Structure 1
């Protein structure tokens, strides 16, 4: 679910933020400045779930570094006012505030921590000289930031934080995360270390790891220590780390041989996305054999196999590159799994037209060099879904370690071992409504999760599904039987208000109802036809 932002009005403009109250008696405020240039928020997921202080997330869609754009310093003043407002709201002092940010957010944490008198600052890979650092990659951002493209203006902006380091009170707890692999270490961090060392509790955590190769890797690698420090600071403790190092290179504890790894020649088989998309099966994730270099497209050949008895339907999968594979599955710095990801070849869903009806077990076949592994075990989120494709229905059922794909022809039942009624239907103002009962005699429907309903639009000229929409369920037992509970087996449009008709070409469409009863799928004919005319809003519904 997308985060919902509040707006802080300041001088006829607004700052967007999210505020989460403290838990229990934690009387601290954590202020999180987001980095990047997309206007999102950082540290908003599982990373801060255990932090019990109040949290104030602030975002910067204007790319102002929470400081200025040109000569307009409204961004610094409004951000400072927003923080001060929540300090007053919580009735705490500046010593009870922790400012956190990464990259651009780290710049903001330093700026507002130093200028606002706040005692605790945690900055990961901060840009201390933002204008110089962005000059090559984002010249337009820099020009808007400083108000011109002159060296004088850029240098003046880049001296803001160094000057604050000189002027600020030295009773502060400052934690800087960095790495020699970050190209900003030599330009931003190292030249200012002497200024930082004047503070009573300055801590420099330097990461030297094969998993850290560029600027954004610093924060991704250090999520755990960052949150650990935040947890202590927001509970009133200020750890003293001085100059510390982490990462395997810094400890000298690098693995000697990849062949000695307990994971050598084992299959990674992760699924990130699995769904029916555009009339086919879409699967994407990461699959490769550990211990074998998979740095380039073609390093690994992958086939998704759908097997039912002796019948096997094979689909070749294309490769995807993602440097995070080396972070998540580190074996040795000489081994790269950058191209360990996969998706359907040509970015087109896997065609299932040639698949016979039935239930199939999914298997992954991966070949690297002369080694081939096949496995039916997937690391996949448990889920169940079904969708219509042309003249059949495909269901996907996963339990966390396996995938089953079922193909069912669309046969419109006019009689069934159960109950089907159409009690009400109407068509008006471009909306259609149906309601009634749909149940099977041998399956109880006592919980909302026991059943799903869909309304299907079948083109009568092709008998193919052109669209489907989800229907709601409601609780009503018209014919109670002591040993049965079908109270949830009633379908309707949401709140009986109808649903907007999908975009349909002129023609006649048979309306069918799909019911999935504890994963057993049945399709029934509603005996209704929707006629779509050539003119907009020319619809008619006919009952047979």
Structure 2
């Protein structure tokens, strides 16, 4: 699935990837991606949908190096025109009807899927936690995207225009024979503003399905999609098989087992996993997971980390402070039967600026981490679940399931 480029008649290039259909399946799924990094390049669900029997096309929201919601740059909607021209060409090539096409996306991608599906009268729409008020959202949370989409000196009228794009399409749409699946959660901070006010506009469709999760593992916006991958794949597979799902008179409420957070255990088991390490200009960048399994780390104040570097020859040690990052997916990733919150169990460097280790002579060092959480303390060798190797002309770093070694060549 190499990247390919479609050049629209207006000169805009659409970057995409394509997975062909299998056997006799005649269905096209178009995937619009959400935010991932500061700049675009991601393709959501590309691994999860590898075995899907339908044709799947992932469109990259990379237009002049920045996200656009697949819509516009400086309020010029040639991106929208190019995206729709590309999609229509793919539909025409396969001689598909709207019934054999599904648009899907997650968060920003859900917004784009909704907008383009309603604009092009696509029958099947599968979206999770979309923003319906795009202008306000990017203005408040993604300034780089806001200026890219609306211009450096954008104003309230442009924000309002983007806010109404999807809302107006929903209100005006009279083709109600659509299959719409909206996965969301009241735990999502965006639910009261982006979803709830518009549910009546969705409910007019003949097969609208509101899928709400109340899972204990879904406590934030970016946890909704990943926790229900199986449900989403089931919908895609069913649609590709010409078996249109209809759920419980249009509403599903997933509660799961509602596990109760367990009290901290008496003898927690330390767990570490170095995820990345770099060294440049006497600055060390290192990050990963470090928790005492069975001890809750709900707040930043619940845990403190220190990095310890021990010279393997002289045994001299150097101690450096570490910072923490909010990574709520860890609670789900580390779940082993007891519900323990590990949201803040990710160590990194302060402000992601690295650690000055210019006071360390060139030598080989074994790395340790000290974890203090309430009354619990543990010092253990850093290690990684997967072998991690980094090197340059100034350093070597090697980490495995037993230890992590940093060798500095130059002072």
Q: Tell me: CA distance 1:240–1:307, structure 2 relative to 1, closer, same or farther (3 Å).
A: farther
Residues 207 and 87 of structure 1: is their aligned pair in 2 closer, same or farther, counting only changes over 3 Å?
same
The answer as to 2:235 corresponding to 1:234 is no
Asked if 1:30 is matched to 2:37, the reply is no
Query: Normalising by structure 2, what TM-score?
Result: 0.78
* Distance in 1 between residues matched to 2:322 and 2:160, nearest whole Å: 50
Q: Does 2:98 correspond to 1:100?
A: no
Measured after TM superposition, the shift of residue 271 of structure 1 is: 0.7
3-state DSSP of counterpart to 2:44: coil
Relative CO higher for 1 or 2, CA cutoff 8 Å, sep ≥ 6?
2
* 1:419-475 CA-partner distances (Å, limit 9, x unpaired): xxxxxxxxxxxxxxxxxxxxxxxxxxxxxxxxxxxxxxxxxxxxx69xxxxxxxxxx
Of 330, 351, 355, 1:348 maps to 355
Q: Distance in 1 between matches of 2:18 and 2:170?
A: 32
Contact 2:132 2:163 in 1 (8 A): no
Distance in structure 1 (CA, Å) of the matches to 2:192 and 2:288? 36
Question: How far is the alpha carbon of 1:64 from its aligned partner?
Answer: 5.0
Q: Deviations over 1:25-68 (max 9, x none)?
A: 24322211223484433315433333343222223446654345
Change (3 A) 1:307 1:406: same
Match of 1:338, SS state, is coil
Contact 2:32 2:44 in 1 (8 A): no
* Distance in structure 2 (CA, Å) of the matches to 1:14 and 1:4: 16
2:322 partner SS: strand
Instruction: Please report how far the alpha carbon of residue 373 of structure 1 lies from its aligned counterpart in structure 2 after TM superposition.
Output: 2.1
The residue that corresponds to 1:378 in the other structure is 383
How many residues were matched structurally?
A: 394
| Structural mapping, 1:439-458, within 5 Å | none
Helix, strand or coil at the partner of 2:12: strand
CA RMSD of aligned residues (A): 4.0
Q: Does 1:402 align with 2:402?
A: yes
CA distance in 2, matches of 1:61, 1:346: 27
Structure exhibiting the larger radius of gyration computed from Cα positions: 1
8 Å contact 2:216–2:258 — kept in the other structure? no
The structure where strand makes up a greater share of residues is 1
- Range that drifts further, 338-347 or 281-290: 338-347
Q: Which residue of 2 aligns with 1:286?
A: 289
Show the counterpart of 1:299: 303
Deviations 1:265-286 (A, max 9, x none): 1222011113444357643212
Could you tell me which residue of structure 2 aligns to residue 120 of structure 1? 124
1:217 offset after TM fit, Å?
A: 3.7
- Provide structure 1 residue ranges, at least 5 long, that are not aligned to the other structure: 410-463, 466-544
| 1:269 equivalenced with 2:276 (yes/no) | no
Structure 2: distance between partners of 1:265 and 1:349: 32
Q: Which deviates more, 363-372 or 135-144?
A: 135-144
Q: What SS does structure 2 have at the residue aligned with 1:405?
A: strand
| Structure 1 residue matching 2:264: 3-state secondary structure | helix
CA drift at 1:80: 2.0
Tell me which residue corresponds to 1:318.
322
The CA distance in 1 between the partners of 2:381 and 2:296, in whole Å, is 21
Separation in structure 2 between the aligned mates of residue 252 and residue 351 of structure 1, nearest angstrom: 51
> Equivalents in 2 of 1:404, 1:256: separation in Å?
33
User: Which structure features the higher share of helix residues?
Assistant: 2
Q: Secondary structure of the residue that 1:47 maps to in structure 2?
A: coil
5+ unaligned residues in a row in structure 2: which ranges? Answer: none
Task: Look up the match of 1:66.
Answer: 70
Contact 2:6/2:86 (<8 A) preserved: no
